[in-house]
Structure 1
Amino acid sequence: MAPSRSFLAPLSRITTCAISISKPDAPRLALLPLQSIRCASQKSAGTKKKKARNTYVQYDTKKAEQFSLVDAMHYIRAFEVGRDPKSSKYEMAIRLRSLKNGPVIRNRMRLPHPVKTDIRICVICPPDSKHATEARAAGAVLVGEDEVFDQVKEGIVNFDRCICHSESLQKMNKAGLGRILGPKGLMPSSKTGTVVTNVAATVKGMVGASEYREKLGVIRMPVGQLGYTPDELSTNVKAFMETLKKDIAQLSDRISKEIHEVVLSSTNSPGFSLNGEFKGPDSISTKDLSGPL
Structure 2
Amino acid sequence: MKKLSKRLQKTKELIIETEYSPKQSVEILKKTATAKFIESTEAHISLNIDPKYADQQLRTTLVLPKGTGKTIRIAILLSEEKIKPEYKKQADIVGSNDLIEKITKGEINFDILLSTPEMMPKLAKLGRILGPKGLMPSPKSGTVTENIEETIEQFKKGKIEYKADRNGIVHLSFGKSNFSEEDLIENLLAVYQSIEQNKPSGVKGKYFKKFYICNSMGPSIQINLSDLKKQ
TM-score range, shorter chain: 0.7 to 0.9
Q: CA RMSD in A?
A: 2.4
Q: Distance in 2 between matches of 1:213 and 1:223?
A: 14
Question: Secondary structure of 1:177's partner?
Answer: helix
Q: Distance in 2 between matches of 1:180 and 1:82?
A: 33
More RCO (CA 8 Å, sep 6+): 2
Structure-2-length-normalised TM-score: 0.78
CA deviations 1:259-278 (Å, max 9, x no partner) are 12221211122111112549
Q: Distance in 2 between matches of 1:245 and 1:66?
A: 20
Give the fraction of aligned pairs with identical amino acids, expressed as a percent: 25
- Who is 2:13 aligned against? none
Q: Distance in 2 between matches of 1:210 and 1:83?
A: 26
The alignment status of 1:76 with 2:29, answered yes or no, reads yes
* 1:161 partner amino acid: I
- Who is 2:98 aligned against? 147
The alignment status of 1:265 with 2:218, answered yes or no, reads no
The alignment status of 1:201 with 2:153, answered yes or no, reads no
Q: Distance in 2 between matches of 1:197 and 1:108?
A: 17
- Who is 1:53 aligned against? none
Q: Which runs of 5+ in 1 are unaligned?
A: 1-63, 279-293
- Who is 1:212 aligned against? 162
- Who is 2:72 aligned against? 119
Q: Considering fraction of residues, name the structure with more helix.
A: 2
Q: Which runs of 5+ in 2 are unaligned?
A: 1-16
Select the structure of larger CA radius of gyration: 1
Q: How do residues 60-71 of structure 1 correspond to structure 2 at under 5 angstroms?
A: 65-71=18-24
Q: How do residues 1-293 of structure 1 correspond to structure 2 at under 5 angstroms?
A: 65-81=18-34, 83-84=36-37, 87-99=38-50, 101-102=52-53, 103-129=56-82, 131-137=83-89, 139-173=90-124, 176-207=125-156, 208-215=158-165, 216-248=167-199, 251-252=200-201, 254-256=202-204, 258-275=207-224, 277=227
* 1:91 partner amino acid: E
The list of structure 1 runs, each at least 4 consecutive aligned residues, that deviate by more than 6 angstroms after superposition, is: none
Q: 1:255: how far off? A: 3.5
Q: Distance in 1 between matches of 2:174 and 2:36?
A: 18
Question: Secondary structure of 2:214's partner?
Answer: strand
CA deviations 1:116-163 (Å, max 9, x no partner) are 34111111112342x5434334x2111121220121121111011112
Q: Distance in 2 between matches of 1:182 and 1:82?
A: 31
Note if contact 1:127-1:143 (Cα within 8 Å) is conserved in structure 2: no
Q: Kindly tell me: are residues 82 and 95 of structure 1, through their superposed partners in 2, closer, same or farther at Cα, counting changes over 3 Å?
A: closer
Count residues with an aligned counterpart.
206
Structure-1-length-normalised TM-score: 0.63
Q: Distance in 1 between matches of 2:101 and 2:87?
A: 20
Q: Kindly tell me: are residues 100 and 140 of structure 1, through their superposed partners in 2, closer, same or farther at Cα, counting changes over 3 Å?
A: closer
Note if contact 1:132-1:144 (Cα within 8 Å) is conserved in structure 2: no
* 1:218 partner amino acid: I
* 2:160 partner amino acid: S
Q: Distance in 2 between matches of 1:72 and 1:238?
A: 12
Question: Secondary structure of 2:219's partner?
Answer: strand
